[in-house]
Structure formats: C-alpha cells, structure tokens
C-alpha cells in the first residue's frame, strides 16, 4: 500500500523522545546526592533503579499492544506523561520507599511504554531499512545519558538533587508531548515509495505473522531471547560499574572516570546505528557472530590490561557491541515473527534484556566483592558466556534455515 508519509520526520521525533527516556540510565548521577538527602546507604537508593529495570517487560508489552492497534502516538503521550510525572514526584519524595514507587514503578512504566512505541512504530515504517531505523531510534535511548548527565549534574550542583529531578521532569513532559504531535502511526500495509517487498514463499503468501502466545511455543523464540540476554549481559555489567572499574582497577580519578563513562555511552549510542546498518547489508546472524567474538576479545583485553589505553579500547568495544545488540534484535523479532503483532512480540522478547539487566550487575558486583574490589574474574565469566552466545548463533542459523525449508517445501499428498 503506497501511502505518503514523512517517515524520516517521525524517526527524528522518535529519536528525540528516546533521548529523554534514555535519561533513566543517568540514575547514578542522582544516587549519591539522594543518599545524603535521605541519610541512607547506596544499595537502598539503587533499589529504585533495580525495580525500574525489573519491570521493563511489562510496559514494553503494554506499549507494544497500543502500537499494534495503531496507537503509537497514544502510547507516547501516555508513557511520556508517566515518565515526566515520575521524575517530578521523585523530586518531591521524602523517603526511599517513595522513590521505589515514583522512579521505580511510575517512571519505569512510562519509559517502557514510550520505548516500545518509538521502536515498534519506527521498525514498521522502515521495512526496507529495519536495522538502520532500529539503530537510530535506539541510539537516542542509548545516548540519553550523554545529553542529560551534564545537565543533571549542573542542576544538582546549583540547586540540589530534588530541584534537578523536578526540573528535568517538567522538561521531559514538554519535549516528549511536543514531539508526540509529530509522530504518526504506521498505516497498515505501508510500503515505502520505490521499494518492492520480497515475495513471500510457501503456502503463507501473506508473510509470517505470529501472535505472542504462539511465538512462545516455538523453540527459536527461546534461542532468540537467550541470544538477547547474552549480548546485553556484558554491556549491563559495564554500564553499572564503568566508573568504579576505572577507579579501582586503572587508578583513574573520579573526574576522569566520568569521562570514560561518557565514552562508553557514546560507543553504545554509535554501535546501535553502526551494527544496525551493517546487519541490513550482511544479515543479522553474521552480525551477531561478529558481536559475540568482539565481546570476548574485549573482555580478554580488559581482564589482562593494566594500562589506561587498554581500558579505553575495551570500553569502546564493549559499548559498540552492547549498542549493536540493542539495535539488531528489534529487526530479528520483526523478521522471524512478523510485523502484525510486532509490538507485543518485542515486549515479550525483551525479557532477555531484563535478564541481562538483573544478572549482569549482580555477577560483576558479587565477584568484585569476593575479590577485594577486582572485577577480573567477572570479565572472564562474561568472556565464556559470550563464546556460548557465538556457538548459539549456529543453532539459531540452523533452526532458521530448517524453518525456511519447511515453509518453502511443497507438501506431498
């Protein structure tokens, strides 16, 4: 169906929206000042971020459901309102348990609904460039920390952490709701001008469209979710500990370590666009194979290196691959299970990322605590897990080829 729609304008607006919700990963900027405000320990404050990460599949599914029904704009307005309100209420909180509700639940739900809406709608608008579109729109999410962290730090320094949270919450409301008016839902059957969809083979000429309750019955779904978990695991280990690793293992000052955190975030952001575009050219599976090998090499580098240069190389490599993982899997879900139920399907598959968000930091922190603050053994664990991911890509490739053969082979009466 040839429908005139400015999909690039929608993609840009969606990316700006994701920069706002990507501020969720700037929580470390607020954490230390909040411990001083509430006179509590860091683990008590960090529980708000843990709750936020743990509930992520729920809003992803909710937002995806709205996208699948043509309600991308509605999802962004709903989720954006919750996200901004969550920040404002966090600034008004007077106890950690209130943060668990405001930052953990309200902001978490809003962020997930918005994220699933921007990704789902963008991937549907770019059937010819899924990897690139997913890479760009998720790059906004990954780059949110780069943009928001210095602003948040300046606000905290001048007026305190609670003022910073309230001010940012208001700003997020204004930006997200303003950009939402530029977003239009992808029309059903949309085909970009000048692009011819590949012919669907086999008896299902209309293409593959599998609802979530059928998707979870397929073994390939569990392989994809496992690949997602493995690809994101090393990134989540470093995301939560980059500054600490730099200071404890490489002797960096807090200020210099903060620069490396920004370098990691920039690499994460770049990797989403880079690997997404490359996967459009050479295929998702080959890209995943390369990503897992690079992760293994970077984990070996950071484990063995004693120089700041080695740390820098590893940080960049891990960040690129973490970003690549986040940029490629939206396309994989769409291609393997179809676009009709894409929003919900991606939300369900996002459980793989949630597993990485839960286990990655815990593996790193547990190993470091047992080894005098040294993360070296955690890096070796991540190296082995990435090699498992590399091996699993061959399983995925075999299952995918078998599925295609069964689809194209004529049935014999």
pLDDT digits (tens, 9 = 90+) for 12-71: 999 999 999 988 877 877 887 898 899 988 778 878 887 887 787 789 888 888 988 889
For 68-127, write each residue's pLDDT tens digit: 888 999 999 999 999 999 999 999 999 999 999 999 999 999 999 999 999 889 988 988
Residue 395 banded pLDDT, cuts 50, 70, 90: very high
Note whether 286 and 297 are within 8 A (CB).
Answer: no
Q: How far apart are CA 16 and CA 210, in angstroms?
A: 31
| pLDDT at residue 1 is higher than 60 | no
Residue 407 banded pLDDT, cuts 50, 70, 90: low
Q: How far apart are CA 399 and CA 413, in angstroms?
A: 25
Q: How far apart are CA 153 and CA 217, in angstroms?
A: 47
Sequential DSSP letters for 111-154 = HHHHHHHHHHHHHHH-TTSHHHHHHHHHHHHHTHHHHHHHHHHH
Residue 142 banded pLDDT, cuts 50, 70, 90: confident
DSSP H stretches of helix in 143-253: 144-159, 161-180, 212-215, 219-239, 242-250
Note whether 288 and 387 are within 8 A (CB).
Answer: no
Note whether 55 and 132 are within 8 A (CB).
Answer: no
Mean pLDDT of 307-326: 92
DSSP-assigned letter for residue 409? S
Note the pLDDT of residue 413. 38
Residue 406 banded pLDDT, cuts 50, 70, 90: low
| pLDDT at residue 405 is higher than 70 | no
For 155-166, write each residue's pLDDT tens digit: 988 999 999 999
3-state secondary structure of 76: helix
365's CB contacts (< 8 A; 6+ apart) are: 240, 241
Note the pLDDT of residue 202. 46
| pLDDT at residue 350 is higher than 60 | yes
Among the listed ranges 44-53, 209-218, 282-291, which one has the minimum average pLDDT value?
Answer: 44-53
Note the pLDDT of residue 302. 93
Residue 207 banded pLDDT, cuts 50, 70, 90: low
Note the pLDDT of residue 200. 52
DSSP-assigned letter for residue 39? T
Q: What is the Cβ-side half-sphere exposure of residue 131, based on CA atoms within 13 angstroms?
A: 19
Q: How far apart are CA 220 and CA 264, in angstroms?
A: 32
- Counting residues of the chain whose pLDDT is more than 70, the rounded percentage is 94
Residue 114's CB is within 10 A of a number of other CB atoms, namely: 30
Q: How far apart are CA 203 and CA 205, in angstroms?
A: 6
Does the global pTM surpass 0.85?
A: no
214's CB contacts (< 8 A; 6+ apart) are: none
Q: How far apart are CA 348 and CA 58, in angstroms?
A: 8
Q: How far apart are CA 286 and CA 83, in angstroms?
A: 36
Note whether 123 and 130 are within 8 A (CB).
Answer: yes
Q: How distant, in Å, are the alpha carbons of 2, 185, 276 from that of 196? A: 11, 21, 21
For 121-133, write each residue's pLDDT tens digit: 998 898 888 888 8
If we measure between CA atoms, which residue out of 356, 379, 390, 241 comes closest to residue 304? 379
Residue 219 banded pLDDT, cuts 50, 70, 90: very high
Note whether 235 and 325 are within 8 A (CB).
Answer: yes
| pLDDT at residue 205 is higher than 60 | no
Note the pLDDT of residue 347. 87
Note the pLDDT of residue 394. 95
Note the pLDDT of residue 412. 43
175's CB contacts (< 8 A; 6+ apart) are: 16, 17, 20
Among the listed ranges 103-117, 131-145, 196-210, which one has the minimum average pLDDT value?
Answer: 196-210
Q: How far apart are CA 166 and CA 233, in angstroms?
A: 32
| pLDDT at residue 246 is higher than 90 | no
Q: What is the Cβ-side half-sphere exposure of residue 150, based on CA atoms within 13 angstroms?
A: 8
DSSP H stretches of helix in 240-341: 242-250, 254-282, 284-304, 308-337
Among the listed ranges 67-76, 142-151, 158-167, 303-312, which one has the minimum average pLDDT value?
Answer: 142-151
Q: What angle (nearest 5°) sits at the alpha carbon of residue 98, between those of residues 94 and 103?
A: 115
Mean pLDDT of 268-292: 90
């Amino acid at each position: 169906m040839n429908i005139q729609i400015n999909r690039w304008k929608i993609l840009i607006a969606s990316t700006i929206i994701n920069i706002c919700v990507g501020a969720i990963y700037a929580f470390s900027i607020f954490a230390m000042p909040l411990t001083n405000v509430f006179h509590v320990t860091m683990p008590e404050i960090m529980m708000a971020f843990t709750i936020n990460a743990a509930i992520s599949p729920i809003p992803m599914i909710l937002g995806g459901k709205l996208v699948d029904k043509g309600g991308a704009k509605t999802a962004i307005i709903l989720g954006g309102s919750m996200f901004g309100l969550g920040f404002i209420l966090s600034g008004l909180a007077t106890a950690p348990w209130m943060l668990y509700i405001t930052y953990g639940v309200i902001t978490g739900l809003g962020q997930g609904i918005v994220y699933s809406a921007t990704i789902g709608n963008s991937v549907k608008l770019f059937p010819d460039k899924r990897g690139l579109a997913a890479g760009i729109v998720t790059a906004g999410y990954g780059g949110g920390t780069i943009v928001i962290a210095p602003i948040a730090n300046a606000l905290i320094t001048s007026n305190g952490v609670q003022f910073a949270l309230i001010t940012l919450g208001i700003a997020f409301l204004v930006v997200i709701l303003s950009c939402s008016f530029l977003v239009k839902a992808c029309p059903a059957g949309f085909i970009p001008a000048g692009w011819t969809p590949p012919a669907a083979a086999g008896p299902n000429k209309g293409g593959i469209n599998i609802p979530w309750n059928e998707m979870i019955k397929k073994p390939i779904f569990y392989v994809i979710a496992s690949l997602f978990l493995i690809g994101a695991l090393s990134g989540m280990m470093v995301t939560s500990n980059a500054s600490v690793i730099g200071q404890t293992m490489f002797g960096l000052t807090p200020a210099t370590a903060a620069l490396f955190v920004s370098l990691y975030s920039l690499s994460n952001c770049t990797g989403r666009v880079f690997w997404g575009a490359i996967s459009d050219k050479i295929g998702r599976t080959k890209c995943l194979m390369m990503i897992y090998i690079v992760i293994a090499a970077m984990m070996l580098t950071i484990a063995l290196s004693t120089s700041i240069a080695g740390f820098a190389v590893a940080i960049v490599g891990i960040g690129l691959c973490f970003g690549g993982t986040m940029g490629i899997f939206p396309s994989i879900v769409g291609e393997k299970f179809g676009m009709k139920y894409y929003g919900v399907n991606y939300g369900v598959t996002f459980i793989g990322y949630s597993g990485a968000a839960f286990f990655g930091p815990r593996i790193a922190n547990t190993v470091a605590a047992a080894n005098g603050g040294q993360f070296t053994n955690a890096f070796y664990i991540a190296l082995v897990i990435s090699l498992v991911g590399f091996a699993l890509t061959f399983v995925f490739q075999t299952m995918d080829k078998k599925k295609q053969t069964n689809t194209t082979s004529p049935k014999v009466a």
